[in-house]
Amino acid sequence: MTPVNERRPAGSRIWHAAVAAAVLVFLLLPLLVTFLFSISTEWEDTILPQGYTFDSYIRLFGDERFLYALGRSFLVASMTVAFSLLIMVPTVFVVALYVPRLEKWLQTVVLVPFALPGVVAAVGLIKLYSAPPFAISGTIWILIGAYFILVLPYVYQSTRNSLRAVNAAELMEAAEVLGASKTAAFIRVILPNIMPGVIVASLLSFSIVFGEFVLANMLVGGSFEVVQVYLYHMMGVDGRLSSATIVTFFALVLVLYAFVLKIGNRKPRAGTPSVQGKEETV
């Protein structure tokens, strides 16, 4: 579909601009005021702050507790993404090409996390892992275990779409005809080709894990304090630090999304049924 804006009457164009602007402003407003709050000196009973300063950011990045929380969040997010890719990319590849009868089942399984809000998932995990023989509750391992499931739909979908878009079956056949072993073909041919999709999935998963609160709070809480749990504890104590934490978190999300956009634009988006080729410039 080509948007035929020129054909629209002026009244309709103004209406659509107004609707889009109103919704986007509404969506951005809480973030903007959080930013404003983080750089305000005093903001008690006036509409706008009485003065501005970056003091809260200096304090935040001087706060050891915050830096540790940030480090833990990075650690748990990177390890989740690493385990997820290491296990899921080969799994999706093997199922798609060599065990197609499992495909339908896998598609259904990866959707289960959508019906499983954190609070429900936490119930069984707490029950299973807070007593011996697997007492890993309160450690990073239970978080990684649970987050792997949480990001499953995104990693699966992205990998599956990429495999389809690059026509993995044909690539494998071609590589094998040329004498490559299956392993070599997978590593040297398939992996580089599906990399953009895999990176997008990693970045999305990273931002999801970074923003997750419920499991982090219920499964490990204070014994492995991540950024979101730090934020929750700070909320009632120090509003400035909390707002600076939120803005920092969102700056990270912004960077991750910028990467996703860049990668998404460079190659034809995975999943769109289009022929890959250099000449495809829209």
Partner 1 sequence: MAGRSSSRHQVTLLLLLLPFFLWLFAFLLLPGILMLVSSFQNEGGQGFTLGQYVKGLTHPLYTGAIRNSVLLSLVSAFVGLVAAAFAAYSFTTFSPKTRDRMLSLSNMMTNFAGVPLAFGFIILFGTNGMLTLLFKQLGLSFLAFDLYSWKGLAWVYIYFQIPVGILLIYPSLFAIRQEWREAASLLGAGTVQFWLRIGVPVLLPGLVGTFSVLFANAMGAYATAYALVTSNFNLLPIKIGGLVSGDVFPRVELGSALAVILFVILAIALFINEKMLRLARRGLSHDSR
Q: Is 205 in the site for partner 1 (CB under 8 A)?
A: no
Give 208's Cβ-side CA count (13 Å radius). Answer: 21
Residues of span 123-142 touching partner 1 by CB under 8 A: 123-128
Q: In 3D, which of 61, 77, 43, 31 has the Cα closest to residue 206?
A: 77
Which are the contacts of 178, defined by CB distance < 8 A and separation ≥ 6?
Answer: none
Please report whether residue 236 would count as binding partner 1 according to CB under 8 A: yes
CA-based nearest residue to 126, from 208, 220, 222, 211: 220
Determine the Cα–Cα distance for residues 161 and 199; give it in Å rounded to an integer.
Answer: 13
> What residues numbered 28-87 form the site for partner 1, per CB under 8 A?
28-31, 33-34, 37, 44-48, 87
Binding segment (CB under 8 A) for partner 1, from list 12-20, 63-71, 73-81, 157-165: 12-20
Answer yes or no whether residue 187 interacts with partner 1 by CB under 8 A.
no
For partner 1, the binding residue among 16, 65, 188, 262 (CB under 8 A) is 16
User: Which residue stretch of 58-66, 73-81, 159-167, 230-238 sits at the interface with partner 1 (rule: CB under 8 A)?
Assistant: 230-238
Asked whether position 97 contacts partner 1 by CB under 8 A, the answer is: yes
Two tokens, residue 259: 């990467």
What type of residue sits at position 278? K
Contacts with partner 1, 143-172, as mask; x by CB under 8 A: --xx-xx-------------------x---
**DSSP-derived secondary structure letter, 40:** B
Chain CA centroid to CA 196, Å: 15
How many angstroms separate the Cα of 204 from the Cα of each of 54, 142, 158, 254? 29, 21, 10, 11
- Smaller CB distance to partner 1: residue 67 or 128? 128
List 51, 62, 64, 115, residue binding partner 1 (CB under 8 A): 115
Residue 1 interacting with partner 1 (CB under 8 A): yes
Rule CB under 8 A: say whether 257 interacts with partner 1. Answer: yes
